Amino acid sequence: MIRSRMIGDARVTNVVEYSGPTHAPEFLFPEIAKAERDAAIAANATWLAPNHYVPAMDRFIVTIQVWVVHAGGNIILIDTGVGNFKDRAAPRMNQLNTLLVPWLEAAGAPADKVTHVVHTHLHTDHVGGNTVLQDGRWVPAFPNARYLMPRVEFAHWKAEYDGGDKMVQAGSFADSVLPVLDAGLVDFIEDGQEVAGCLLGEDVSGHAPGMLAFRLRSNGEEGYFSTDTMHSPIQIANPHWNDRYVLRAGQALESRAKMLARAAERGALIMPMHFGDPYCGYVRRQGDGYGFEGAK
């Protein structure tokens, strides 16, 4: 559930909220023809199974996790998962009751010591842990942290919420974003902005408007929080595959191509949000395309 790695002088830890074979290929990639999906899965079967795809069930493994960064005296969370006791439409997310909070403490991130909560984007499975239920109200889970949110995306969902859709992002905008805004804990961030003294935001819009990946550089080494540019590593081998959660298809393809090229060129450890074990790895050039090498 908890695994740490060093990137230069920064310690990075992933804390898994849940992980399992939850997504059928036709569900996750509905726009890809069955013959193409089946051929790609077969061609990559030796490394996809068992950590990213379960052949016996014909399901992709999808993980929900939180990344913790210890750097320069700061304790930084990258997104906060689904969260506990939230009413959600998807059964796998509805009314969770996990040990995420004590797991974060075990990873060196007790709630009152977290200094920054950095959001790649504001989807339901990335903001739910922002708040906890206290006396019937949703209150900030990390009361001493600054919550950093992409300005472009916040404006997008806020316009929908103000337009009358109070169930924006399955209700997570209301129960997990607005309470920390009302508490005065939110700072808005932009493409190209450095945050928390160690992270550089890079625009990777498409899956969400204004979504940001974050580049971490320390002592000559580099990590890349690649967020939801991909939901499965099969998209590294097939970067033209958009998943069902993409909002703007053309932008998503451009952002994925940009992210893969950057990661391969930099030799950066990519740290997505949804890959199976080992949850992170490297993008390697293979001929005219790319392959995935899981981290050791």
The DSSP line for the chain is -EEEEEETTEEEEEEEEEEEEEE-HHHH-TTS-HHHHHHHHHHTHHHHTTTTEETTTTEEEEEEEEEEEEETTEEEEE---S-SS---SSTTTTT---SHHHHHHHTT--TTT--EEE-S---HHHHGGGEEEETTEEEESSTTSEEEEEHHHHHHHHHHHHTT-TTGGGGHIIIIIHHHHHTT-EEEE-TT-EETTTEEEEE-TTSSTT-EEEEEEETTEEEEEEETT-SSTHHHH-TT---TT-SSHHHHHHHHHHHHHHHHHHT-EEEESS--TT--EEEEEETTEEEEEE--
Contact 289, 264 (CB under 8 A): no
Residue 211 has φ and ψ, to the nearest 5°, of -60, 140
Structure tokens at 85: 């006791």
pLDDT of residue 144: 98
**Mean pLDDT (whole number) for 208-213:** 97
Q: By percentage, how much of the chain surpasses pLDDT 90?
A: 99
Q: Is pLDDT above 90 for 39? A: yes
Alpha carbons 12 and 139: distance in angstroms, whole number: 27
pLDDT of residue 2: 86
Alpha carbons 205 and 208: distance in angstroms, whole number: 6
**Mean pLDDT (whole number) for 61-73:** 98
Q: By percentage, how much of the chain surpasses pLDDT 70?
A: 100
Q: Is pLDDT above 70 for 1? A: no
Q: What is the mean pLDDT of the chain?
A: 97
pLDDT of residue 88: 97
Listed by start position, the domains of the chain span 2-294
**Mean pLDDT (whole number) for 85-114:** 97
CATH match of 2-294 with 3.60.15.10: yes
**Mean pLDDT (whole number) for 175-200:** 97
pLDDT single digits (tens) 133-170: 999 999 999 999 999 999 999 999 999 999 999 999 99
pTM: 0.96
